[in-house]
């Protein structure tokens, strides 16, 4: 599975702000400005899981107070999407801030405060893989050791940007050998297998997005066609993406993953 450069899709009225994002995206991201929510929806549908979306939540509110319902629809349709809300955070928008959190916005950029290039870059980096991390947090059993959780957390971040074992080691400031030892100690599969599982979970997360087709998920995950994705889901989960989607893809994939983790914890290492 190969994921290309990260798209950075922007829907914002402030030209100067858009330009600032365009400048910082030169190295690590592929910048794309869209004029309206509909174009944003289309862009998100075809984008890989590593994509970032920056929006003005008050864009096209059609005279209503509060954040745009179009943003809510976008997050309902693509819950796996990492959406940043960039707006002027003032006391009268306190309730909107909480609403945005409930809708699933992963980060807020406060205009005229932390909207500098460096601050934006830092926030983008920190939000890597946040939707997958949040989902994992919900399914991991409460007795999962802290060390294991920290590695899983880092692994979720790494796969979201198409990273590999060496990237995982780097993100934890470890050598690859130490990472292997840490995985053993935390009763986790070795890094390569762990990342393979994370990719499956990521694909499953995308399959649960109502706005995506199986083919678009396959493309988003770096496969040239849906047969590649089918092969992988068949190997790891014994089922096709379509069936998986019908039965709740992330829930089924995470159950299978937890079973594998349980076997590692009991010392019954298996081949997958």
Which residues contact another protein (rule: CB under 8 A)? Answer: 89, 91, 94, 97-98, 101-102, 104-108, 110, 112-119, 122-123, 126, 133-134, 137-138, 140, 142-147, 149-150, 153-154, 172-174, 178, 182
Question: Nearer to another protein by C-beta: 51 or 154?
Answer: 154
- Rounded to a whole number of angstroms, the minimum distance from the CB of residue 97 to another protein is 6
Question: Nearer to another protein by C-beta: 30 or 89?
Answer: 89
Query: Strand, coil or helix: what is 54?
Result: strand
- Alpha-carbon gap, residue 160 to 155, rounded angstroms: 8
- Rounded to a whole number of angstroms, the minimum distance from the CB of residue 237 to another protein is 25
Closest CA to 248 of 203, 208, 202: 208
DSSP string, 152-217: HHHHHHHHHTT--HHHHHHHTT--HHHHHHHHHHTT---HHHHHHHHHHHHHHHHHT-TT--HHHH
Question: Nearer to another protein by C-beta: 117 or 242?
Answer: 117
Q: Are 157 and 148 in contact (CB under 8 A)?
A: no
Sign, CA dihedral 31-24-108-128, equals positive
- Rounded to a whole number of angstroms, the minimum distance from the CB of residue 211 to another protein is 20
Question: Nearer to another protein by C-beta: 24 or 202?
Answer: 24
Q: Within 10 Å of residue 130's Cβ, how many Cβ atoms? A: 16
Question: Nearer to another protein by C-beta: 79 or 241?
Answer: 79
Closest CA to 80 of 208, 228, 216: 208
- Rounded to a whole number of angstroms, the minimum distance from the CB of residue 221 to another protein is 25
- Rounded to a whole number of angstroms, the minimum distance from the CB of residue 232 to another protein is 28
Question: Nearer to another protein by C-beta: 13 or 38?
Answer: 13
- Rounded to a whole number of angstroms, the minimum distance from the CB of residue 272 to another protein is 25
Strand partners of residue 45: none
CA 191 remoteness from chain centre:
19
């Amino acid at each position: 599975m190969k994921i290309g450069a990260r798209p950075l899709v922007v829907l914002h009225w402030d030209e100067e702000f858009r330009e600032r994002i365009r400048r910082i995206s030169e190295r690590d991201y592929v910048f794309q400005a869209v004029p309206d929510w509909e174009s944003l929806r289309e862009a998100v549908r075809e984008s890989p899981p590593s994509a970032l979306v920056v929006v003005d939540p008050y864009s096209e509110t059609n005279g209503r107070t509060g954040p745009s319902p179009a943003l809510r629809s976008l997050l309902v349709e693509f819950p796996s999407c990492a959406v940043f809300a960039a707006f002027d955070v003032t006391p009268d928008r306190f309730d909107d801030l909480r609403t945005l959190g409930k809708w699933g916005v992963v980060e807020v950029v406060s205009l005229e405060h932390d909207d500098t290039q460096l601050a934006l870059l830092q926030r983008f980096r920190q939000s890597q893989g946040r939707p997958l991390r949040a989902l994992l947090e919900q399914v991991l059993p409460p007795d999962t050791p802290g060390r294991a959780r920290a590695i899983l957390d880092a692994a979720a971040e790494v796969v979201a940007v198409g990273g590999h074992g060496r990237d995982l080691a780097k993100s934890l400031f470890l050598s690859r050998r130490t990472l292997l030892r840490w995985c053993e100690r935390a009763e986790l599969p070795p890094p390569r297998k762990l990342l393979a599982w994370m990719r499956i979970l990521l694909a499953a997360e995308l399959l649960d997005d109502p706005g995506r087709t199986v083919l678009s998920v396959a493309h988003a995950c770096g496969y040239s066609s849906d047969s590649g994705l089918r092969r992988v889901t068949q190997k790891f989960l014994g089922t096709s993406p379509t069936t998986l989607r019908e039965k709740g893809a992330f829930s089924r994939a995470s159950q299978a993953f937890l079973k594998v983790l349980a076997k590692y914890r009991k010392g019954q290492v298996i081949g997958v």
